[in-house]
Amino acid sequence: MPQRKLSIRIDGELVNASDGTTILEAARAANKQIPTLCYMPGLSAFGGCRLCLVEVSGVGRLLPACTTPAQDGMSVTTTSPKLTRYRRMIVELLLVERNHVCSVCVSNSHCELQNLARSLGVTNVRYPYNYPRLPVDLSHSRFVLDHNRCVLCTRCVRVCAEVEGAHVWEVTDRGIRSRLSCELNQPWASAASCTNCGKCVQACPTGALTEKGFAVEELIKRNEHISALALSKGGAQA
């Protein structure tokens, strides 16, 4: 049966959307950009980074666009001084939580977190840095896991489970102690379920998961290919 069409207003413009789509999907279909970090087309929506927060008329709180269904007649604001302030704060908190030193990162100039900071005008951080002592897993013959760069977006977790079907990755512990974990905290090289496909590396928005043999600024990831594969295989829609 054909999907019911919805009519919603995004930033004052009337937009048509299919029933069952999210605010983010409707906005992108109308060429309206909402910043995201944990979202990736073809994968299930996580709603963890909160960068896609939007204002919905009649709702007293900000809502994540990637997990909020579009409803007929709703009015959405994607850009405002309040939203920009919140998004800058989120990026700043992400930067202070780990050790993001762009100048020595292989994903420098090709990092989604760095691009977001630049687009939002984050030129300095107002909060004290945590400087946690985090390890780097070099055990794999091809890939590297650097916990210092991880933003816990879980894109690697979801692409490994939903596209590759290997279920290698998970997030362990809670709060500020949360860490990306490989097969119950084993070294990556010891992961019997890992197929060495590299999808997690390509899905990673930062330099947390990288491929060996690349110098600073050299690693360009192609997560659009992963999204195309996920969608062609009937991957979960956000």
Structural domains of the chain, with CATH: 5-79 (3.10.20.740), 91-231 (3.30.70.20)
As a whole number of angstroms, the distance between CA 88 and CA 123 comes to: 10
Residues contacting residue 81 through CB under 8 Å, at least 6 positions apart: none
Residue 238 has pLDDT above 50, yes or no: no
Number of alpha carbons in the 13 Å side-chain half-sphere of residue 214: 21
As a whole number of angstroms, the distance between CA 75 and CA 98 comes to: 37
The pLDDT assigned to 33 comes to 92
54, 112, 135, 204 from 50: Cα distances, Å: 9, 15, 26, 17
The pLDDT assigned to 4 comes to 80
Mean pLDDT of the chain: 94
Query: pLDDT tens digits for 66-107?
Result: 999 999 999 999 999 999 999 999 999 999 999 999 999 999
91, 95, 131, 174 from 128: Cα distances, Å: 14, 10, 9, 21
For the chain, percent of residues with pLDDT exceeding 90: 89
